[in-house]
Structure 1
Amino acid sequence: MFRSTVTTATRRVCLTSFVRGTAITKPIRSYSLLPRTPSTLHRRTTPTFVWRRYESSGANPSAKSCPSCGAPLPTNLPACPSCFEIQPLPQDASLYEIMEIPEDVRFDVDEDLLKRNFRQIQRVIHPDKWSSKGPGAYELAAEMSSRVNKAYKTLLNPYTRAEYLLQKEGLEISESDGVQDPELITEILELRMAVEEAESQEDVDEIRAENADNIKVVIDNISTYVEGGNWEAVKRETIKLKYMQGIDAAAEAWPNTANNH
C-alpha cells in the first residue's frame, strides 16, 4: 500500500514488530510513507415525559417541545431547562442522536458542527445546573453529561468514529488485529524508530507532516468504503489508522517518546 524511499544509511538494525511480535532485520529506510493508491439511577417519575426520537411539534420539523411544560427543548435530549424536568436517556440512543448529527452523515462528520452541538448540549445538561433540583435530577444530568462527553470524543476522532461504525455492523477490532501488509508493517516500524532517533524538533515536525498526509489518505479511504458498505475494507483501513495515530502520538511526545508506550 505504501512505497518507501531508501536513504544512504547502510547500518542494519533489528526492528522488533509491535504487530504480532514479528521480528524484522533490514536496512533503515527513510521515514516517508507515500501512498500508492487513494486509497439504576434515582429518577423523577413524571410519566408524561418520555423521550420520543425525532418527534417534533409546530411548523418547524426540527423543533421539539417539553411534554411537561410545552417549552421548546433546546437540544435533542430529554432535559428541559424551563421547568427542569429530566428523564433518563435511552440506553440504545446512538452517538449521532445524542450529538444531533444526522445518521445519514455516516463517517464524514462536520467537526465544527459537532463542537457547536457539544457546547450547546453541555450548557443545558451540565450537572451544576441541576444540582439545586434534587439528587434525582442531579444524578440524571451527571449520567447524561457523561454520555455526551463520550459521544463527543468518539465522533471527534476518526479512528474511534470508524471503530464505532464497525461495532454497529458487528465487527470488532481486537488487540490481536494487526496490519497484514508486511511492507506496511516495516514502514510503520521505521517511522516509529525514526521518531525515537530524531535529533531535533525539525526532524520530528517533518515526520509528523508526512505521517499526516498518509493519515489523510487512509481517512479518505475509510469514508469511501463506509459509503460503499465495504465493512471489511473499513476495518482494514481503520487498523492502519490506529498505528499511524500511534506514530503521531509518539512524535508529539518527543523527546519523551521512549517512555510513551
Structure 2
Amino acid sequence: MICSDCGHLQDVNSGINYFKLLSFPIQFSLESQKLTRSFRQLQTIVHPDKYSNKTSREQTNSADWSSLINKAYKTLSTPIERGQYLLQLEGEQMPQDNSALNKEFLMAMMERNEEVEDAEDTQTLENLNIQLVKELEEMARRLNALFESKDLSGVKGTLVEMKYLLSIQNSIKQKQQSLLGS
C-alpha cells in the first residue's frame, strides 16, 4: 500500500485477494478476533484523517484503500459472504435457483416462515431466532469441513440453505420491530 521508496500511499489494487490484504491464509476457518485486529491495524495506516494534509491523490487513495479494507473485512467476517467469496476464488458461482435444495428443506422453510408470521409475541420470535443462530453456527462448521474436502457442490448447497435461514432471521427481526412498535 505504501511505496517503500517514496513513502507515499499507492493506488488501490482493487483485484487484491481479501485474505492476502488482511494477512490471512485462504481458507474458510479463521479467528474473528485476529481478523478484527488486522482490520483495525490496516485502517490506522490508511485512514483518511491521516491524509487530510497530503496531496489530493493520496487523499483519494486513502479513501479508496479504507473502503476496500472495509469491504474485505465485511466479506471475511460473515460466514456466508466468506463462503461465497471463497467459491468465487475457486471460479465457481452460487446457483441462481433452488435446484440445489431438496423439497423437504423447502417445505421446512415454508413452515418456519409461517411460524414467524403466526408468532404473537417477542419471546416466541426470540426462541425461533435462538434456534436459527444454532443452525447457522452448525452450517458454518459444515462449510469449513466442505471447503477442506474441496466439496464445492456441498458448499453451494449449504450456502443456499444459509441464505434461507438468514432470510427467516431477517423476517424475525422485522416482526419483532413491528410488535415492539405496536
Query: Structure 1 residue 102 and structure 2 residue 37: aligned?
Result: no
Q: Which of 2, 9, 13 is matched with 1:90 structurally? A: 13
* 1:107 CA displacement: 0.3
Map of 1:144 onto structure 2? 65
Conserved 8 A contact 1:114-1:156: yes
- Residue of structure 2 equivalent to 1:68: 5
- In structure 2, the CA distance between the partners of 1:255 and 1:67, relative to structure 1 (3 Å rule), is closer
Partner of 1:17: none
| Code of the aligned partner of 1:92 | G
What's 1:243 paired with? Answer: 164
- 1:168 aligned onto 2:97: no
The alignment status of 1:213 with 2:134, answered yes or no, reads yes
Determine what percentage of the aligned residue pairs are the same residue.
26
User: Whose helix fraction is larger, Structure 1's or Structure 2's?
Assistant: 2
- How many Å separate the matches in 2 of 1:169 and 1:186? 31
Residue 233 of structure 1, aligned match among 147, 154, 158? 154
Answer yes or no: is 1:192 the counterpart of 2:129: no
Question: Cα offset for 1:178?
Answer: 5.2
1:226, CA displacement in angstroms?
0.1
What is the aligned partner in structure 1 of residue 56 from structure 2?
135
Contact 1:204 1:251 in 2 (8 A): yes
1:197 partner amino acid: D
C-alpha displacement of 1:218 = 1.4
SS at 2:15 equivalent: coil
Greater strand proportion? 1
Report how many residues are paired: 179
Cα deviation for residue 102 of structure 1 reads: 2.4
Larger Rg: 1
Partner amino acid, structure 2, of 1:109: L
Gaps of 5+ in 2: none
CA distance in 2, matches of 1:220, 1:213: 11
* Whole-angstrom distance in 2 between the partners of 1:159 and 1:217: 12
| Alpha-carbon separation, structure 2, partners of 1:93 and 1:209 | 37
- Could you tell me whether the CA contact under 8 Å between 1:158 and 1:219 is conserved in 2? yes
For the Cα contact (< 8 Å) 2:3–2:9, is it kept in 1? no
> What is the TM-score when the length of structure 2 is the normalising length?
0.90
Do the aligned partners of 2:147 and 2:155 also contact (CA within 8 Å) in 1? yes
- Runs of 5+ consecutive residues of structure 1 not aligned to the other structure: 1-50, 52-64, 70-82
CA distance in 1, matches of 2:28, 2:144: 6
Deviation at 1:251, TM superposition (A): 1.2
